[in-house]
Structure 1
Amino acid sequence: MPDICIGFEVHQPFRLNRYFSPDPKKKEKDLDSLYFDAINREVLERVAEKCYVPATNIILEKLDEGFHCTFSFSGTFIEQLEKWRPDVLSLFDQVARHKNSELLGQTYYHSIAGCFGDKTEFMEQAGMHTELMYDLFRIRPTVFENTEFTFNNHIASCVKKMGYAGVFTEGVNRILDWRSAHHIYTCDDVPVLLRDIQLSDDIAFRFGNRGWDKFPLTADTYADWIRGANGDLVNVFIDYETFGEHFWKETGILNFLSYLPEELEKRGVRTILPSDALESYMPVGTVDVKETISWADIEKDASAWMGNERQHTAYSAIQKAAAFAKDKAIWRYLQTSDHFYYMASKFGTCGEVHNYFSHHEARDAFKIYMAILADFENRNIRFMKNKRSAKTLRTLPPEEAFHFTSPTGYVGYAAYSLDQFCDLLRVVPSDSIAYHQERGDIAQWIEHTLKDQKLAEDIIGRRDRQDLITTINQRREELWSRLA
């Protein structure tokens, strides 16, 4: 009979302002209200009443009775509690300090920084989160879980460097080679705790599904499933908002949470903390995670955040924005994974889940994100040593992007920066390049939008694709060297 390790992800993003419009009169101290939506407080207040207060009161009672569980709080969630619901923060303070609970480390901004090529920002945000946990609760987490369980060999290496005793990720078959997720493995010598996908999603996604052949799910039935599982350890990890927000109280989800500890105890199933699990069980093998995995969607990869061209554009832009980030906090808020999640263009059940969590349409999410990022960069140009180079290299708002067309219409590519324009020249149809060069569109855009007259003059009359790429690439490298 295995032990069970139960974990809860608790996160709220600072959602971007659906009605954003650039306002040069706004000062830096007013950027929060300019960039972020008033809906953030509304959502937090609603979830607090439906989930955080009732579910946490249940958890506190069960912890006193010997139940063990773990929590992962994002820094943005904590900030919202400090602003708008300090009473709820007080409840979580009791949970955090309880001897039967454990806090996990993560990135402060629940960000996608772990996927960046340069892992410096990722590690800095993990350090910021550790300091936050210590400042608030006097606890330094020893086990890590990256944003949405995103994980690969490079992340494992960083976790190792940061000194964590272990890390959580998703128990996907493609890294297990059909081995059981109910054991501890290692990746780059870091112990890895693997989430049981089915048993976690039975609560997180299927609990309220009347068409499910196991509906209604009761605590005693679920405890039987755990008792009957093979292996050392079952890791069940879910969004905390499952309890009262995703599934309302009327579904019986809070009763399920209340009764589950007792039903597990009746069957002799021990609830265990991650750090205790790492001490109790030795790794039984290794996992090699060359391609990024996560707990998101059916694919269990990074496609929830980087699965379409819009997301790739935003993902590339936020990394390059580091050079403009006088205000690192705003830049880091813009790294929060939710912004990219809202841009997804998936269909079926995955698309339904994305739509459920988003407060606007995917296309609008992208346009607003790029407009805010462009405004943020533009505001910071005045603080930069080489303003002219920065002006040419900045991210552009949607209305200033270069949209590639041909005599028959739009060809599906748009450049939001000089860097992206140069990259797209490698893939856009030749007739589109010829069409724009004959009309002088590219030179006009570079001169009037990017404000680089020299480059505009250099590319006039050039018809060869590679010639254009070489000319523009040399110029952009020269401009970036001036910002270094």
Structure 2
Amino acid sequence: MKAVCVCFEVHLPLPTRWYWPREGYTTPAMDNYFDIERSFNNYSRLQRDIEVINDALIDSIERGGKYTFDISGIFMEQCKWAPEIMESFRLLGKKGAHFAASPYYHSICSLFPDIHEFREQVQMHVNAIESEFGITPSTFINSELLLEQRSMEIIKEMGFECFISEGSHNLSNGIGPVHVYHNDIPTLLRHINLSEDIEKYFSDKKWSGYPLIADKFATWIANMQGDIVTLYIKYDSLHNHLQNGEKIVSFLKELPASLEAHGIEMLHPEEAAEKFKAEKLPSLQSKKTARYGMHNLMGNHAQHLYLHEIQNIGKKIEKMKHGDPGKMKAIFRYLQQSEILLEMGNDGYGHGYEKAVNNFSIISDIKRALLEEDR
């Protein structure tokens, strides 16, 4: 193996509230439908550990590491609760970290038949990254690593140089995703197993790979065939590992030297796209994929119906002549978060049916409010 690309997803969803208007209907508002207090508590719980991990990655960059962050618009908004967190990400940017673009609300809008909403949210996110970090993103990563071929034309038009998606078996036909692949723009695919070694199993003492040290991980990669391994790791998983000691901090600090000792470069995604010749992978043109498979997002009737209903709400908001369309549009966009669909899935975290009932209660209330506005 010649190179490694390491990307982190930095995102905390804004969860929906249990919504059942027992005492009558009110004017739609964010705190009617979303649990702001729970969101704040989730953020506060991670705050200290994010600072620890960011400090470790600054050290790692100074030792030759290269990292790309997919930091959602929702998370950037949450940073108002602790501005020092955003400042630590700014410092990472000054040290050489890159930032990828994605739909601002971590939304599934690329699945809408009308791609206009997708384009707007991507541009919103690009603008936010430029404003916060003074960096123009050149890599695009869709929410849940979604690959939906129609959106590729849009991100090509918007000037992105690289795209990262899920390395699922229906794309790679069981072969490890270890190349840059030819597409409308060069495409990297997440190596699921190696990403999960860090994301899921790192601190699991029952795992056969425990303890995972940087040199061991570099040896695994060095023994693989191909051009590049792409790792995409949820940032909050590093918080979970920190609860079991500081091994993850040492791992991150030591990773660049361990990879270099095995002749492996660390590259940003766009550097990999420029360095390696793109391989053909016909399935990219004909199939959809997402993290752990499309069935998690669109595997049952409730999810399909929700997607249909949310699009209809968007169309009605565009036609609003009274009330506050800006406020309604914000609610509409937060309701597109990928986690809302995932929670209604068949795996559904054990509460798929209850979540669906709750989400459709919210949808019903918004439709009622829009009808009343038209009177």
Scaled by the length of structure 2, the TM-score of the pair is 0.90
Could you tell me how far apart the structure 2 residues matched to 1:3 and 1:195 are?
Answer: 14
Task: Say yes or no: does 1:330 pair with 2:331.
Answer: yes
Could you tell me how far apart the structure 2 residues matched to 1:251 and 1:319 are?
Answer: 45
Structure number with larger C-alpha Rg: 1
Task: Say yes or no: does 1:169 pair with 2:165.
Answer: yes
Q: Residue 141 of structure 1 corresponds to which residue in structure 2?
A: 137
| Amino acid across the alignment from 1:371 | S
Q: Residue 44 of structure 1 corresponds to which residue in structure 2?
A: 43
Task: Say yes or no: does 1:68 pair with 2:66.
Answer: yes
Task: Say yes or no: does 1:235 pair with 2:230.
Answer: yes
Q: Residue 322 of structure 2 corresponds to which residue in structure 1?
A: none
Does structure 2 retain, via aligned residues, the 8 Å contact 1:109–1:125? yes
Task: Say yes or no: does 1:376 pair with 2:374.
Answer: no
2:225 partner SS: coil
Cα distance 1:341–1:180, how it changes in 2: closer, same or farther (>3 A)? Answer: closer
Could you tell me how far apart the structure 1 residues matched to 2:235 and 2:195 are?
Answer: 12
Task: Say yes or no: does 1:159 pair with 2:151.
Answer: no
Cα distance 1:141–1:23, how it changes in 2: closer, same or farther (>3 A)? Answer: farther
| Amino acid across the alignment from 1:302 | M
| Amino acid across the alignment from 1:86 | P
Q: Residue 222 of structure 1 corresponds to which residue in structure 2?
A: 217
Q: Deviations over 1:322-345 (max 9, x none)?
A: 123232111000000011111122
Task: Say yes or no: does 1:250 pair with 2:235.
Answer: no
Could you tell me how far apart the structure 1 residues matched to 2:163 and 2:282 are?
Answer: 13
1:316 to 301, 308, 311: 308
Q: Deviations over 1:340-399 (max 9, x none)?
A: 1111222xxxx6xx45xxxxx322221221112222222233333xx4xxxxxxxxxxxx
* Superposition deviation, residue 96 in structure 1: 2.5
| Amino acid across the alignment from 1:342 | E
Q: Please say which of residues 322-331 and 282-291 is displaced more in the overlay.
A: 282-291
Q: Residue 77 of structure 2 corresponds to which residue in structure 1?
A: 79
2:290 partner SS: coil
Cα distance 1:20–1:260, how it changes in 2: closer, same or farther (>3 A)? Answer: farther
| Amino acid across the alignment from 1:362 | G
Could you tell me how far apart the structure 1 residues matched to 2:330 and 2:94 are?
Answer: 28
| Amino acid across the alignment from 1:54 | V
Does structure 2 retain, via aligned residues, the 8 Å contact 1:20–1:35? no
Q: Residue 454 of structure 1 corresponds to which residue in structure 2?
A: none
2:186 partner SS: strand
Q: Residue 289 of structure 2 corresponds to which residue in structure 1?
A: 293
* Superposition deviation, residue 23 in structure 1: 6.3
* Superposition deviation, residue 180 in structure 1: 4.4
Q: Residue 54 of structure 1 corresponds to which residue in structure 2?
A: 52
Could you tell me how far apart the structure 1 residues matched to 2:94 and 2:115 are?
Answer: 31
Could you tell me how far apart the structure 2 residues matched to 1:364 and 1:323 are?
Answer: 27
* Superposition deviation, residue 245 in structure 1: 2.7
Name the Cα RMSD after superposition. 2.1
Does structure 2 retain, via aligned residues, the 8 Å contact 1:58–1:258? yes
* Superposition deviation, residue 305 in structure 1: 1.8
Task: Say yes or no: does 1:212 pair with 2:212.
Answer: no
Q: Deviations over 1:170-202 (max 9, x none)?
A: 222332345542111112x32111111111111
Scaled by the length of structure 1, the TM-score of the pair is 0.71
| Pairs aligned (count) | 364
| Amino acid across the alignment from 2:277 | M
* Equivalent residues in 2 for 1:109-128, closer than 5 Å: 109-128=105-124
Could you tell me how far apart the structure 2 residues matched to 1:235 and 1:88 are?
Answer: 26
Cα distance 1:97–1:324, how it changes in 2: closer, same or farther (>3 A)? Answer: farther
1:194 partner SS: strand
Does structure 1 retain, via aligned residues, the 8 Å contact 2:171–2:287? no
Does structure 1 retain, via aligned residues, the 8 Å contact 2:19–2:361? no
* Superposition deviation, residue 286 in structure 1: 3.5
Q: Please say which of residues 278-287 and 229-238 is displaced more in the overlay.
A: 278-287
* Superposition deviation, residue 284 in structure 1: 2.1
2:245 partner SS: helix
Q: Residue 177 of structure 2 corresponds to which residue in structure 1?
A: 181
* Superposition deviation, residue 262 in structure 1: 2.9
Does structure 1 retain, via aligned residues, the 8 Å contact 2:2–2:263? no
* Superposition deviation, residue 158 in structure 1: 2.5
* Structure 1 unaligned regions, length at least 5: 356-360, 388-484
Q: Residue 125 of structure 2 corresponds to which residue in structure 1?
A: 129
* Superposition deviation, residue 293 in structure 1: 0.5
